[in-house]
Structure 1
Amino acid sequence: MEEMTIPLCERAEVREMRAANDARAAFARFLASLFLYELTDDQVEAFAAVEPAGDGSTIDEGLAAIREYLRHRHGGTRQELAVDYARVFLGAGSYDRILAPPYESVFTSEERILMQDARDGAVSYYRRGGLDLPADNTTPEDHLGFELQFVAELADRANAAIAADDAGALADAVDLGRSFFVHHQANWLPAFCDAVDEFAQTDFYRAVATMTRGYVESESAFFAEIAELLDLGDAVEEVRPSWAAEGEAAS
């Protein structure tokens, strides 16, 4: 990386990165909550009051659709959304499959089942980042909600590196985040969003799919710009599970 002669936090482009990371972390955690949990009554009311930015982005398109859907809310809206959430993401009422399971393994394995290579790969990234899920967790680690929380954590970590004027730690956090996005999100989220569009019965969750497409677009643009700023190069190496790396070395 080019040597920096002034503190990171005093560089205009890095200040912009820090603001972008704050926004990325907040949005990733927001999306994560939508996939991990059913909405509460308070959240329904909060969403109804959301003001789209009007910036023409795909994320804004999704927010506008959510607000329009909730403009017609009634006493049974929260239950209507809970039923749709359970049906689409948990498989409630479906005897043979979950319609749009929020798990990377299902969309990247030939068998379309849980706990495949993608799960092991996600765990490898979490551990490379010094993180792990609680020992009592029973949800597969490649759940989209967990992946989005990891993205938020790396964005926070990048900003901590900026505050500490640690260019090496900043590059490490961004590089790990870019690799995770390429190998564990951009590769399956478009197909997942298509499945949500196909099977969701409410405009709310179709709008969530739209926002998720916008997330993919914004992350792709962010990493393209930041990789150039930090001189990270075009190659995006994948963090592989130890067993996979050993097998590749042996072959």
Structure 2
Amino acid sequence: MDTVAENTEQTMIESRAALYWWFSTLFSRELDETSFNAHLNEQGQLLLTHLAQVPELEVEVNAVKQGLNLINQQAHPHLESAVEFTQLFLGDLKQSAPPYASVYLSEQALMFQKPHQDMVILLNAQGLTVNKSFNEPADHLAIQLDYLGNLILSAIKADDIALAEQEQAAFIQHHILNWLSLFIDKLKQCKQSGFYLHLAQLLKTYLELEVSLLAASYWE
């Protein structure tokens, strides 16, 4: 592989990782005014414009933009966003949409179940730990997306890129897509502007597209 091709592939890998870290940030905590403008009105607009160029993502991207526009029409958009985040993700298990895999994959909708334990094992294998300041279970959606970004970035140094990509696809299928639809269904039941619901739907469609493309790459 020549230098130009190597640089192009590395840039694509870094871009994929950065996108997952962006999703992770938005699902991790409430954004202050500076973070809101940086991640949504600056970086976010660029990412959404880029994603809208993919036909399979156009509908979801437009829906996210509409939801963001509704928030931006408020007097203090970052505060509106923070309040909605709190109501959706930090409320009780009945009235909110908890962003934890265990809640959706355990019979009694409990936290700290097998999905959490599985994520702890995966994080430890990569030499990663959950930041103590975050103080959330390892199967939190934001942690899973952050881990996926790191997994993608590690492919730059992988001896077998195809094998690394299959590891990524397997993680997406068995640790995120196996509960994301249930999370989205719960979001639909909550009062909201629609921004986080559409963001989750965009994430799901993007993940499904990623799995499809990674599988196609494996058989080339």
What's 1:31 paired with? 23
Shift of 1:218: 2.3
Residues 115, 140 of structure 1: 8 Å contact kept? yes
- Equivalent of residue 61 in structure 1, options 52, 59, 62: 59
Aligned length: 212
What's 1:42 paired with? 34
Give the alignment's TM-score, normalised by structure 2. Answer: 0.81
Aligned identity (percent) is: 26
Please give the alpha-carbon distance, in whole angstroms, between the structure 2 residues aligned to 1:206 and 1:137. 22
SS of 1:155's partner is: helix
Shift of 1:34: 0.7
Unaligned runs of 5+ in 1: 1-6, 230-251
SS of 1:186's partner is: helix
What's 2:204 paired with? 213
What are the within-5 Å matches in structure 2 for residues 150-189 of structure 1? 150-161=147-158, 166-167=159-160, 170-189=161-180
Change (3 A) 1:135 1:39: closer
1:131 aligns with 2:128: yes
Shift of 1:200: 4.4
Residues 59, 212 of structure 1: 8 Å contact kept? no
Shift of 1:55: 2.4
Please give the alpha-carbon distance, in whole angstroms, between the structure 1 residues aligned to 2:168 and 2:153. 11
What are the within-5 Å matches in structure 2 for residues 195-206 of structure 1? 195-206=186-197
Structure that is richer in helix per residue: 2
Please give the alpha-carbon distance, in whole angstroms, between the structure 2 residues aligned to 1:191 and 1:226. 29
Residues 58, 210 of structure 1: 8 Å contact kept? no
Q: Deviations over 1:147-192 (max 9, x none)?
A: 101111011110233xxxx33xx35533432221121012111221
Change (3 A) 1:227 1:56: closer
- Output the amino acid matched with 2:219: E
- Output the amino acid matched with 1:115: F
- Equivalent of residue 103 in structure 1, options 97, 100, 117: 100
Change (3 A) 1:136 1:19: closer
Please give the alpha-carbon distance, in whole angstroms, between the structure 1 residues aligned to 2:83 and 2:211. 33
SS of 2:62's partner is: helix
SS of 2:83's partner is: helix
- Output the amino acid matched with 2:29: Y
What's 1:78 paired with? 78
Shift of 1:15: 6.7
Q: Which structure would you say has the larger Rg?
A: 1
What's 1:141 paired with? 138
Please give the alpha-carbon distance, in whole angstroms, between the structure 1 residues aligned to 2:156 and 2:36. 31
The 10-residue stretch of structure 1 (198-207 or 130-139) with the greater mean CA deviation from structure 2: 130-139
Change (3 A) 1:17 1:108: farther
Change (3 A) 1:136 1:31: closer
Shift of 1:90: 0.7
Give the alignment's TM-score, normalised by structure 1. Answer: 0.72
Shift of 1:59: 4.1
Give RMSD over aligned pairs.
2.7
Residues 36, 145 of structure 1: 8 Å contact kept? yes
Shift of 1:17: 5.0
